[in-house]
Protein backbone atom coordinates (compact mmCIF):
# COMPACT_ATOMS: atom_id res chain seq x y z
CA UNK A 1 0.00 0.00 0.00
CA UNK A 2 1.25 3.47 -0.87
CA UNK A 3 -0.38 5.30 2.02
CA UNK A 4 2.57 7.14 3.54
CA UNK A 5 1.58 10.56 4.82
CA UNK A 6 3.70 13.66 5.10
CA UNK A 7 2.28 16.14 7.60
CA UNK A 8 2.95 19.86 7.39
CA UNK A 9 2.16 22.83 9.59
CA UNK A 10 -0.14 24.38 7.01
CA UNK A 11 -2.09 22.49 4.38
CA UNK A 12 -1.95 23.77 0.82
CA UNK A 13 -4.03 20.71 -0.04
CA UNK A 14 -6.92 22.16 1.98
CA UNK A 15 -6.83 25.39 -0.03
CA UNK A 16 -7.27 23.49 -3.29
CA UNK A 17 -10.61 22.05 -2.16
CA UNK A 18 -12.13 25.53 -2.46
CA UNK A 19 -12.22 24.91 -6.21
CA UNK A 20 -15.45 23.06 -5.37
CA UNK A 21 -17.19 26.43 -5.08
CA UNK A 22 -16.45 27.54 -8.64
CA UNK A 23 -19.44 25.82 -10.32
CA UNK A 24 -21.97 27.29 -7.92
CA UNK A 25 -20.54 30.78 -8.42
CA UNK A 26 -21.08 30.38 -12.17
CA UNK A 27 -24.62 29.18 -11.49
CA UNK A 28 -25.49 32.19 -9.38
CA UNK A 29 -24.08 34.57 -11.98
CA UNK A 30 -25.91 32.79 -14.78
CA UNK A 31 -29.26 32.65 -12.99
CA UNK A 32 -29.15 36.34 -12.14
CA UNK A 33 -28.14 37.49 -15.63
CA UNK A 34 -30.05 34.98 -17.74
CA UNK A 35 -29.63 34.26 -21.43
CA UNK A 36 -26.50 32.42 -22.51
CA UNK A 37 -25.03 33.03 -19.06
CA UNK A 38 -27.45 30.43 -17.70
CA UNK A 39 -25.39 27.79 -19.53
CA UNK A 40 -22.09 28.85 -17.96
CA UNK A 41 -21.85 26.11 -15.38
CA UNK A 42 -23.21 23.40 -17.65
CA UNK A 43 -20.49 24.14 -20.21
CA UNK A 44 -17.84 24.57 -17.52
CA UNK A 45 -18.69 21.32 -15.73
CA UNK A 46 -19.21 18.99 -18.68
CA UNK A 47 -16.92 20.48 -21.33
CA UNK A 48 -14.16 22.56 -19.74
CA UNK A 49 -13.56 20.30 -16.74
CA UNK A 50 -13.85 17.16 -18.87
CA UNK A 51 -11.15 18.37 -21.25
CA UNK A 52 -9.01 19.75 -18.42
CA UNK A 53 -9.13 16.41 -16.65
CA UNK A 54 -7.80 14.63 -19.71
CA UNK A 55 -4.97 17.14 -20.13
CA UNK A 56 -3.92 17.63 -16.52
CA UNK A 57 -1.80 15.02 -14.73
CA UNK A 58 -2.67 12.94 -11.71
CA UNK A 59 -1.82 13.91 -8.15
CA UNK A 60 -1.05 10.75 -6.19
CA UNK A 61 0.57 12.50 -3.25
CA UNK A 62 -0.67 11.82 0.25
CA UNK A 63 0.89 14.91 1.80
CA UNK A 64 -0.55 17.98 3.52
CA UNK A 65 -2.70 15.88 5.85
CA UNK A 66 -3.03 18.25 8.78
CA UNK A 67 -5.74 19.59 11.05
CA UNK A 68 -6.65 23.19 10.33
CA UNK A 69 -9.85 25.20 10.06
CA UNK A 70 -10.04 25.32 6.25
CA UNK A 71 -12.14 22.14 5.71
CA UNK A 72 -14.72 23.34 8.24
CA UNK A 73 -14.87 26.77 6.59
CA UNK A 74 -15.40 25.10 3.21
CA UNK A 75 -18.26 23.01 4.59
CA UNK A 76 -19.99 26.14 5.91
CA UNK A 77 -19.46 28.03 2.66
CA UNK A 78 -20.76 25.07 0.65
CA UNK A 79 -24.05 25.02 2.55
CA UNK A 80 -24.39 28.79 2.15
CA UNK A 81 -23.49 28.60 -1.55
CA UNK A 82 -26.13 25.93 -2.21
CA UNK A 83 -28.79 28.11 -0.58
CA UNK A 84 -27.77 31.04 -2.80
CA UNK A 85 -27.76 28.77 -5.85
CA UNK A 86 -31.35 27.64 -5.29
CA UNK A 87 -32.48 31.17 -4.44
CA UNK A 88 -30.85 32.51 -7.60
CA UNK A 89 -32.76 29.97 -9.69
CA UNK A 90 -36.01 31.02 -8.03
CA UNK A 91 -35.12 34.68 -8.55
CA UNK A 92 -34.25 34.22 -12.21
CA UNK A 93 -37.49 32.43 -13.05
CA UNK A 94 -39.72 34.61 -10.86
CA UNK A 95 -38.42 37.92 -12.23
CA UNK A 96 -38.49 36.74 -15.83
CA UNK A 97 -34.71 37.02 -16.18
CA UNK A 98 -34.84 33.37 -17.19
CA UNK A 99 -37.39 32.76 -19.93
CA UNK A 100 -38.57 29.82 -22.02
CA UNK A 101 -35.76 27.37 -22.86
CA UNK A 102 -33.28 29.35 -20.74
CA UNK A 103 -35.20 28.08 -17.72
CA UNK A 104 -34.26 24.55 -18.76
CA UNK A 105 -30.64 25.62 -19.26
CA UNK A 106 -30.58 27.26 -15.83
CA UNK A 107 -32.16 24.21 -14.18
CA UNK A 108 -29.52 21.94 -15.75
CA UNK A 109 -26.67 24.24 -14.71
CA UNK A 110 -28.08 24.53 -11.19
CA UNK A 111 -28.60 20.78 -11.03
CA UNK A 112 -25.02 20.21 -12.13
CA UNK A 113 -23.80 22.36 -9.25
CA UNK A 114 -26.17 20.60 -6.86
CA UNK A 115 -24.74 17.29 -8.00
CA UNK A 116 -21.09 18.33 -7.71
CA UNK A 117 -21.35 20.48 -4.58
CA UNK A 118 -24.52 19.88 -2.56
CA UNK A 119 -24.63 16.08 -2.81
CA UNK A 120 -20.87 15.65 -2.55
CA UNK A 121 -20.67 17.83 0.56
CA UNK A 122 -23.79 16.16 1.96
CA UNK A 123 -22.03 12.82 1.52
CA UNK A 124 -19.19 14.14 3.65
CA UNK A 125 -21.39 15.65 6.35
CA UNK A 126 -23.81 12.77 6.95
CA UNK A 127 -20.81 10.67 7.98
CA UNK A 128 -20.05 13.09 10.80
CA UNK A 129 -21.27 12.48 14.34
CA UNK A 130 -21.60 16.18 15.12
CA UNK A 131 -25.36 16.84 15.07
CA UNK A 132 -25.09 20.27 13.45
CA UNK A 133 -22.94 19.06 10.57
CA UNK A 134 -25.08 15.96 10.19
CA UNK A 135 -28.20 18.13 9.96
CA UNK A 136 -26.44 20.35 7.39
CA UNK A 137 -25.78 17.26 5.27
CA UNK A 138 -29.44 16.23 5.43
CA UNK A 139 -30.46 19.79 4.57
CA UNK A 140 -28.30 19.70 1.43
CA UNK A 141 -30.00 16.47 0.42
CA UNK A 142 -33.34 18.18 1.02
CA UNK A 143 -32.44 20.82 -1.59
CA UNK A 144 -32.22 18.06 -4.21
CA UNK A 145 -35.35 16.24 -3.02
CA UNK A 146 -33.48 13.07 -2.07
CA UNK A 147 -35.08 11.28 0.92
CA UNK A 148 -33.20 8.00 0.73
CA UNK A 149 -29.46 8.72 0.42
CA UNK A 150 -29.02 9.57 4.11
CA UNK A 151 -30.58 6.29 5.21
CA UNK A 152 -29.32 3.96 2.54
CA UNK A 153 -25.76 5.19 2.21
CA UNK A 154 -24.97 4.81 5.90
CA UNK A 155 -26.97 1.73 6.79
CA UNK A 156 -26.90 -0.35 3.60
CA UNK A 157 -24.30 0.80 1.10
CA UNK A 158 -21.29 0.89 3.42
CA UNK A 159 -22.26 -2.39 5.03
CA UNK A 160 -23.07 -4.38 1.89
CA UNK A 161 -21.00 -2.68 -0.83
CA UNK A 162 -19.79 -5.16 -3.42
CA UNK A 163 -22.49 -7.73 -2.61
CA UNK A 164 -25.88 -8.52 -4.12
CA UNK A 165 -27.54 -6.88 -1.11
CA UNK A 166 -26.37 -3.46 -2.25
CA UNK A 167 -28.28 -2.02 -5.23
CA UNK A 168 -25.73 0.82 -5.45
CA UNK A 169 -22.99 -1.57 -6.57
CA UNK A 170 -23.10 -1.75 -10.36
CA UNK A 171 -22.76 -5.29 -11.65
CA UNK A 172 -20.24 -6.44 -14.25
CA UNK A 173 -21.48 -5.60 -17.81
CA UNK A 174 -24.49 -3.68 -16.42
CA UNK A 175 -25.03 -0.45 -18.32
CA UNK A 176 -25.71 2.88 -16.63
CA UNK A 177 -29.36 3.05 -17.71
CA UNK A 178 -30.26 -0.34 -16.24
CA UNK A 179 -28.26 0.48 -13.13
CA UNK A 180 -30.04 3.84 -12.74
CA UNK A 181 -33.46 2.21 -12.46
CA UNK A 182 -32.29 -0.69 -10.31
CA UNK A 183 -30.27 1.54 -7.99
CA UNK A 184 -32.91 4.19 -7.30
CA UNK A 185 -35.78 1.71 -6.91
CA UNK A 186 -33.65 -0.52 -4.69
CA UNK A 187 -32.52 2.34 -2.48
CA UNK A 188 -36.06 3.66 -2.04
CA UNK A 189 -37.45 0.20 -1.25
CA UNK A 190 -34.74 -0.66 1.26
CA UNK A 191 -34.88 2.79 2.89
CA UNK A 192 -38.64 2.48 3.41
CA UNK A 193 -38.13 -0.96 4.93
CA UNK A 194 -35.43 0.30 7.29
CA UNK A 195 -37.52 3.26 8.42
CA UNK A 196 -40.53 1.03 8.98
CA UNK A 197 -38.44 -1.31 11.12
CA UNK A 198 -36.92 1.58 13.07
CA UNK A 199 -40.30 3.13 13.82
CA UNK A 200 -41.86 -0.17 14.89
CA UNK A 201 -38.86 -0.90 17.13
CA UNK A 202 -39.56 2.39 18.90
CA UNK A 203 -43.28 1.55 19.04
CA UNK A 204 -44.18 4.43 16.78
CA UNK A 205 -46.32 4.52 13.69
CA UNK A 206 -44.44 3.41 10.61
CA UNK A 207 -46.70 5.64 8.51
CA UNK A 208 -46.33 8.77 10.62
CA UNK A 209 -43.94 11.72 10.67
CA UNK A 210 -41.41 9.68 12.65
CA UNK A 211 -40.70 7.90 9.39
CA UNK A 212 -37.85 9.92 7.86
CA UNK A 213 -38.80 8.97 4.32
CA UNK A 214 -42.40 10.11 4.75
CA UNK A 215 -41.51 13.31 6.58
CA UNK A 216 -39.09 14.24 3.80
CA UNK A 217 -41.66 13.52 1.12
CA UNK A 218 -44.18 15.73 2.92
CA UNK A 219 -41.52 18.45 3.12
CA UNK A 220 -40.81 18.26 -0.61
CA UNK A 221 -44.49 18.46 -1.49
CA UNK A 222 -44.89 21.44 0.83
CA UNK A 223 -41.94 23.28 -0.74
CA UNK A 224 -43.15 22.60 -4.29
CA UNK A 225 -46.70 23.75 -3.55
CA UNK A 226 -45.59 26.85 -1.64
CA UNK A 227 -43.13 27.79 -4.38
CA UNK A 228 -45.85 27.35 -6.96
CA UNK A 229 -48.41 29.44 -5.07
CA UNK A 230 -45.99 32.21 -4.11
CA UNK A 231 -43.68 32.43 -7.11
CA UNK A 232 -45.42 30.52 -9.89
CA UNK A 233 -45.54 26.91 -10.98
CA UNK A 234 -42.68 27.42 -13.39
CA UNK A 235 -40.47 27.95 -10.35
CA UNK A 236 -41.67 24.64 -8.90
CA UNK A 237 -40.91 22.85 -12.17
CA UNK A 238 -37.42 24.42 -12.28
CA UNK A 239 -36.71 23.25 -8.72
CA UNK A 240 -37.84 19.73 -9.55
CA UNK A 241 -35.76 19.72 -12.74
CA UNK A 242 -32.55 20.77 -11.00
CA UNK A 243 -33.09 18.13 -8.32
CA UNK A 244 -33.79 15.45 -10.92
CA UNK A 245 -30.60 16.24 -12.82
CA UNK A 246 -28.53 16.36 -9.62
CA UNK A 247 -29.73 12.87 -8.69
CA UNK A 248 -28.89 11.57 -12.15
CA UNK A 249 -25.33 12.75 -11.51
CA UNK A 250 -25.39 11.08 -8.10
CA UNK A 251 -26.29 7.77 -9.70
CA UNK A 252 -23.62 8.24 -12.36
CA UNK A 253 -21.14 8.66 -9.52
CA UNK A 254 -22.47 5.56 -7.77
CA UNK A 255 -22.18 3.66 -11.05
CA UNK A 256 -18.49 4.36 -11.66
CA UNK A 257 -17.36 4.07 -8.04
CA UNK A 258 -17.99 0.32 -7.67
CA UNK A 259 -18.71 -0.95 -11.16
CA UNK A 260 -18.04 -4.66 -11.50
CA UNK A 261 -16.22 -5.01 -8.16
CA UNK A 262 -17.47 -7.66 -5.77
CA UNK A 263 -16.66 -9.30 -2.44
CA UNK A 264 -17.89 -12.20 -0.35
CA UNK A 265 -20.51 -11.49 2.30
CA UNK A 266 -18.09 -12.39 5.09
CA UNK A 267 -15.17 -10.45 3.59
CA UNK A 268 -14.23 -7.16 5.24
CA UNK A 269 -14.46 -4.09 3.01
CA UNK A 270 -10.99 -2.96 1.99
CA UNK A 271 -9.20 -0.73 -0.52
CA UNK A 272 -9.89 -3.19 -3.36
CA UNK A 273 -13.67 -2.75 -3.39
CA UNK A 274 -13.92 0.76 -4.87
CA UNK A 275 -12.47 2.50 -7.89
CA UNK A 276 -10.24 5.45 -7.20
CA UNK A 277 -8.91 8.30 -9.30
CA UNK A 278 -6.15 10.77 -8.59
CA UNK A 279 -7.05 13.11 -11.44
CA UNK A 280 -6.66 16.71 -10.28
CA UNK A 281 -10.14 17.82 -11.35
CA UNK A 282 -11.88 14.91 -9.65
CA UNK A 283 -9.83 15.25 -6.51
CA UNK A 284 -10.23 18.92 -5.73
CA UNK A 285 -13.49 19.87 -7.42
CA UNK A 286 -15.16 16.95 -5.63
CA UNK A 287 -13.29 17.22 -2.30
CA UNK A 288 -11.47 13.93 -2.87
CA UNK A 289 -14.60 11.87 -3.43
CA UNK A 290 -12.50 10.18 -6.11
CA UNK A 291 -10.33 8.65 -3.40
CA UNK A 292 -13.28 6.38 -2.83
CA UNK A 293 -11.25 3.30 -1.99
CA UNK A 294 -9.97 4.88 1.20
CA UNK A 295 -13.42 6.28 2.00
CA UNK A 296 -14.91 2.78 2.11
CA UNK A 297 -11.85 1.34 3.83
CA UNK A 298 -12.09 4.02 6.55
CA UNK A 299 -15.58 5.50 6.35
CA UNK A 300 -15.17 7.93 9.24
CA UNK A 301 -12.07 9.58 7.78
CA UNK A 302 -12.68 13.23 6.70
CA UNK A 303 -12.24 14.08 3.03
CA UNK A 304 -9.02 16.08 3.53
CA UNK A 305 -7.26 13.04 5.02
CA UNK A 306 -8.15 10.44 2.41
CA UNK A 307 -5.15 8.79 0.79
CA UNK A 308 -4.39 6.91 -2.40
CA UNK A 309 -3.51 3.20 -2.39
CA UNK A 310 -1.22 1.70 -5.00
CA UNK A 311 -3.16 -1.57 -4.88
CA UNK A 312 -6.63 -0.06 -5.41
CA UNK A 313 -8.31 -0.38 -8.82
CA UNK A 314 -7.90 2.85 -10.79
CA UNK A 315 -10.40 4.36 -13.21
CA UNK A 316 -9.00 5.07 -16.69
CA UNK A 317 -10.13 8.67 -16.24
CA UNK A 318 -11.63 10.94 -13.64
CA UNK A 319 -15.24 11.62 -12.75
CA UNK A 320 -15.52 14.48 -15.26
CA UNK A 321 -13.96 12.65 -18.20
CA UNK A 322 -15.68 9.29 -17.60
CA UNK A 323 -19.21 10.70 -17.93
CA UNK A 324 -19.41 10.36 -21.72
CA UNK A 325 -18.06 6.77 -21.77
CA UNK A 326 -20.53 5.80 -19.04
CA UNK A 327 -23.39 7.01 -21.23
CA UNK A 328 -22.17 4.85 -24.15
CA UNK A 329 -22.26 1.24 -22.87
CA UNK A 330 -20.04 -0.39 -25.53
CA UNK A 331 -17.34 2.22 -24.94
CA UNK A 332 -17.67 1.87 -21.18
CA UNK A 333 -17.38 -1.91 -21.27
CA UNK A 334 -14.35 -1.69 -23.55
CA UNK A 335 -12.61 0.68 -21.14
CA UNK A 336 -13.53 -1.08 -17.92
CA UNK A 337 -14.15 -4.80 -18.24
CA UNK A 338 -10.59 -5.93 -18.85
CA UNK A 339 -9.47 -3.81 -15.88
CA UNK A 340 -11.88 -5.69 -13.64
CA UNK A 341 -10.51 -9.03 -14.80
CA UNK A 342 -7.00 -7.80 -14.00
CA UNK A 343 -8.02 -6.92 -10.41
CA UNK A 344 -9.33 -10.40 -9.68
Q: What local confidence, expressed as pLDDT, does residue 118 receive?
A: 96
Q: What SS3 class is residue 169?
A: coil
Q: What local confidence, expressed as pLDDT, does residue 18 receive?
A: 95
Residue 344 has pLDDT above 80, yes or no: no
pLDDT digits 0-9 by tens, 110-120: 999 999 999 99
State the CB neighbour count (10 A cutoff) for residue 299. 14
Residue 4 has pLDDT above 60, yes or no: no
How far apart CA 240 and CA 336 sit, in angstroms, is 33
Q: What local confidence, expressed as pLDDT, does residue 342 receive?
A: 64
Contact at 8 Å (CB) between 37 and 29?
Answer: yes
Length of the chain: 344
Split at pLDDT 50, 70, 90, the class of 60 is: confident
Q: What SS3 class is residue 157?
A: helix
pLDDT digits 0-9 by tens, 145-165: 999 999 999 999 999 999 999
Q: What local confidence, expressed as pLDDT, does residue 8 receive?
A: 52
Split at pLDDT 50, 70, 90, the class of 1 is: very low
Compute the average pLDDT of residues 217-237: 96
User: Percent of the chain at pLDDT above 70?
Assistant: 95
pLDDT digits 0-9 by tens, 275-286: 999 999 999 999
Contact at 8 Å (CB) between 274 and 161?
Answer: yes
pLDDT digits 0-9 by tens, 82-126: 999 999 999 999 999 999 999 999 999 999 999 999 999 999 999
Amino acid sequence: MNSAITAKKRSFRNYKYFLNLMPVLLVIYGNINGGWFSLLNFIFTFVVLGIAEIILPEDQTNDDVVDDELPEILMFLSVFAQILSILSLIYGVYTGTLKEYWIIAAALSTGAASGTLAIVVAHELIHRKNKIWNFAGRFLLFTVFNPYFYIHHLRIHHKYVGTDSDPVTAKFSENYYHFLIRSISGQIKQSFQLEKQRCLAKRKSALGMNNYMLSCLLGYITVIICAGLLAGWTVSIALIAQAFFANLLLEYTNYIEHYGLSRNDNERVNEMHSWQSNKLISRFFLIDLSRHSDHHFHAAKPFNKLVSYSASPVLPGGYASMLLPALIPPLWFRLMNFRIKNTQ
